[in-house]
Amino acid sequence: MNIKNIFFDFDGVIAESVSAKTEAFEEMYLPYGKDIAAKVVDYHKLHGGVSRYEKFKYFHKEFLNEVISQGKVDELAIQFSNIVLDKVINSEEVLGANYFIEKYHTKFHFWVITGTPTKEIEVIAEKRKLTSFFIGLHGSPNNKRYWTENLIEKHKLNRDEIIFLGDATTDMDAANFSKTHFALRENDENKEIFKNYKGLRFKDFYQLEKILNII
C-alpha cells in the first residue's frame, strides 16, 4: 500500500468513547422499560456508525410504534448531546492515537469522518487539542458514504492511496463504497460483529504503524 490519506472515525478509533454513547442511549430509553432500553442498546452496538438522528427515528418507529417529527428528533439529539459530550471529551485515547496523529500529520493528510454531528465533533476535537492536525472534521447529518466521496472529489484523491480507520460496519461500508482501503480498530464492542472479517485490523496505533510500514 502507498497510503497518503487517512480517514479516521472518532469513537472507538481515536477515543475510547463507544461505551459513553451506549450508556447515554440506555439512559434515555430506560423510562420506556428495561426491555426497550436493551433493544436500543443492541441496535446501537450493531449500527455504531449510524447517526443518532436516524437511530432516534428507528427506535421510536420500531420499538415504540411512533413516527416522530424532525422537531422531536432534534430535541432528542440535544438531550443526547447534553448527556454524552463531556464524557466523550474526557474519555481515554485509544492507545497511541495522539502519538500517531501528532507524529504523522505532516506525512499523511488526515480527516475525521464520523456519525457524530459536525458541530459537536468540532467542539470535541478542539477540547482534546486535535483540531490543527486534521484538514477537516466531518459528521452528520451527512453520512459516511457522502463524506468519503465528497473528500475524494474535492481534494482529487487517489482511492488506492486512502485508508479508512474504523470500528463500525458503516466505516467499512463507506470504505468499500468508495473503493478505498479499510483497517478495523478492534474493541470489545465489535468483536462479535466482525468475527468473520478477514482484512486489516489493529488494536492500537503502534500496531497500525507496523501495518502501514512507517516506523
Is the pLDDT score of 215 beyond 80? no
Ramachandran angles phi, psi of 129, nearest 5°? 60, 45
Q: What share of the chain in percent tops pLDDT 90?
A: 90
Give pLDDT tens digits for 109-153.
Answer: 999 999 999 999 999 999 999 999 999 999 999 999 999 999 999
Give pLDDT tens digits for 33-62.
Answer: 999 999 999 999 888 778 899 999 999 999
Report how far residue 26's alpha carbon sits from residue 33's, in angstroms, rounded to the nearest whole number: 10
Report how far residue 188's alpha carbon sits from residue 84's, in angstroms, rounded to the nearest whole number: 20
* Residue carrying C-alpha cell 424532525: 70
